[in-house]
Amino acid sequence: MPVNEQRHKVRDVSVRVWRSGKGTPLVYLHGAAGFPGWLPFFEQLAAKYDVLVPEHPGFGKSDNPAWIRNVGDVAMYYLDFLDGLGAERVHLVGHSLGGWIAAELAVRNTGRLATLSLIAPAGVRVKGVPSGDNFIWSPEELAKNLFHDQAFAERMLAQPLSEEDADLALTNRFMAAKLGWEPRWFNPALERWLHRIDVPTLVLWGADDKLMPVKYAEVWRARVPQVSVETIPQCGHLPHIEKAEATAGKLLGFLARRP
């Protein structure tokens, strides 16, 4: 399936968007490391849906407007983004930081959402179960802690970054810190508004996530009204990469049961 890279402008902010497939739009919000490349996972989704993967403001080559200072600002930006798509409703999927953004958007307004799917989302915490400190980890520690299967970590570390990619990674790291440094990867107010998410919701988690502990799934299970929670065994923080087949399968199964 051909992938189309384009720029999408809403008000004063222009971002990169990768798009492929036909059908109901499915918008995927990426995690703190930025656009992960066009993954086999996206291919599987694009067989059934019109998949859009925007690069968040401040990440990669998207605009970085000064007014975006926290996750709430990004969520408001994506409400504008969805209004500008020309579709009545979309399936919204978010991973990690992107899951947090999607949830912040949903507690504000689910008017544009058919469903909400969160993969190892940030945004809430469980006291006594801290998230991993990805900002203090060395690149080696980060790779190791992102995966259950260390072969993935070794492959990640074996690929030297080009200068351009290293610059983009640093840009992403800067924006991730702006959004998630303190409080680290959560908004204390979000948990008390999760009851407002009134669309079918799927929460997917790798059972061996060393960055966002799978224990956090309990908060989503307890607070989101129409939620189903599924864990993926032998999987770290990146289920869409480490267990792409299983993750796409669970997500497509969930979506197929909805209009």
Residues found near other proteins in the complex (CB under 8 A):
135-138, 163, 166-167, 170-171, 173-174, 176-178, 181-184
Torsional sign, CA 210, 229, 92, 77: negative
List the 25-29 sheet strands across, edge first: 4-10, 13-20, 50-54, 25-29, 90-95, 113-119, 201-206, 227-232
Secondary structure (3-state) at 228? strand
Q: In whole angstroms, how close is the CB of 236 to other proteins at the nearest point?
A: 20
Taking only Cα atoms into account, the Rg of the chain, rounded to an integer number of angstroms, comes to 17
Q: Which is nearer to other proteins, 89 or 178 (CB)?
A: 178
Angle subtended at Cα 23 by Cα 52 and Cα 104, rounded to the nearest 5 degrees: 45
Torsion of CA 229, 232, 233, 234, to 10 degrees: -140
Residues 6+ apart with CB under 8 A from 153: 143, 144, 146, 147
Q: How far apart are CA 249 and CA 259, in angstroms?
A: 17
Q: Which is nearer to other proteins, 2 or 160 (CB)?
A: 160
Question: Are residues 120 and 88 in contact, defined by beta-carbon separation less than 8 angstroms?
Answer: no
Q: In whole angstroms, how close is the CB of 98 to other proteins at the nearest point?
A: 18
* Helices assigned H by DSSP within 109-198: 139-146, 150-158, 163-180
Pairing outcome for strands 25-29 and 90-95: parallel
Name the residue among 32, 54, 15, 55 with its Cα closest to residue 179: 32
